[in-house]
Structure 1
Amino acid sequence: MTSKYYDPDGSRYGIPTFPRHLAPAGLATKSQLRAQGLRPGGQEPAAQLMWRSRAGGSRGGVRIAWLYRIDAALPVRPMTPARERALARALLARHTCRSCGLVHEYCLPTSLGRTCPPGTGCATPADLAA
């Protein structure tokens, strides 16, 4: 294989690297682990996927995804009532305007300092100019 991102021994990138969709068996991304009811469980990434991308979030047009060993993964911790309450409070805070206390149906943008967007609640166009 002559792909720019094929480095199974890690000599070029410092960690075994594979092109997108060519991860070896026994390795999975965090999302893939979660779909199986697993989590990395504190283990370091065993390898990485690397591919070119023009999408936002890429660095220099290259994106990576860490790969973790499935056999070393641990089960996802169950949701306890206390964690469920804490999550509900955190989500409520993201929906609540810090200025007027109005609760919106959606998360407020942090670019506005979590205040009401223009045309709703307490925000005015002058607030955005500041």
Structure 2
Amino acid sequence: MADQDEDLVDVDPYAPAEPETTIPVFKGLCAPSGYATKRQLRAMGLRPGGQEPVAEVETRGPKNGLLYEIAKARPVHPMTLAKEFALDKAMGARQTCDTYRRRYFFVLPTSLASCLGCHDASQLHRSPGRTPAGRVKASRPGSAGARSRAPQHRQEAGALLPHPFEIRRTPA
């Protein structure tokens, strides 16, 4: 019976296969020199280059900032004309109104697929029996206002209507 007890080994099935390694955590501005965050590396023209973080720095938020060794960092890939063209094309798709193909300096909401002026104008034409204030028009049976019309597109006789935000100046 004593021989059987010596052969048994206590095994923890939840123990990690490899020993867990922890990295040091530094207070806000107490990180040693030679370490930098991704933003600091980017400001220096460097990138982490595939290296694992070597330390953490405490922040005010729920996540800590990861620190990388500056000596192991690699230079950032330079911006080529092809990359710049691709990024401009992608941003242009997010900043262009689908109705008038006009590009803005800000990103348009994807839920609207147009600028706010075109979206507001299309909402006026969505329900033909409503006025801009949202009230229902009073109409008699058989009158022109009683029949329902399809929503009008912002184009009449092949000419585009002026954009809602466009300011027209009259010649003096």
Q: Fold match, TM over 0.5?
A: yes
Residue in structure 1 matched with residue 107 of structure 2 by the alignment: 107
Residue in structure 2 matched with residue 79 of structure 1 by the alignment: 79
Deviation readout 1:28-75 (Å, 9 max, x if unpaired): 01111111111111112111112334xxxxxxxx24211111011001
Measured in 1, the distance between the counterparts of 2:30 and 2:108 equals 39
Q: Give the SS at the match of 1:123.
A: helix
Measured in 2, the distance between the counterparts of 1:51 and 1:75 equals 26
User: 1:95, 1:103 within 8 Å by CA — same for their partners in 2?
Assistant: yes
Q: Structure 1 vs Structure 2: percent identity of aligned residues?
A: 47
Match for residue 47 of structure 1 among 26, 34, 55: 55
What TM-score do the two structures reach when normalised by structure 1? 0.65
Residue in structure 1 matched with residue 37 of structure 2 by the alignment: 29
Q: Give the SS at the match of 1:106.
A: coil
Runs of 4+ that moved beyond 3 A: 112-115
User: 1:94, 1:114 within 8 Å by CA — same for their partners in 2?
Assistant: no
RMSD: 2.3
Q: Does 1:116 align with 2:124?
A: no
Deviation readout 1:91-113 (Å, 9 max, x if unpaired): 2122123x423321212245x35
Q: Give the SS at the match of 1:92.
A: helix
User: 2:59, 2:65 within 8 Å by CA — same for their partners in 1?
Assistant: no
The residue type equivalent to 1:77 in the other structure is H
Which runs of no fewer than 5 residues in structure 2 stay unpaired? 1-20, 124-172
What TM-score do the two structures reach when normalised by structure 2? 0.51
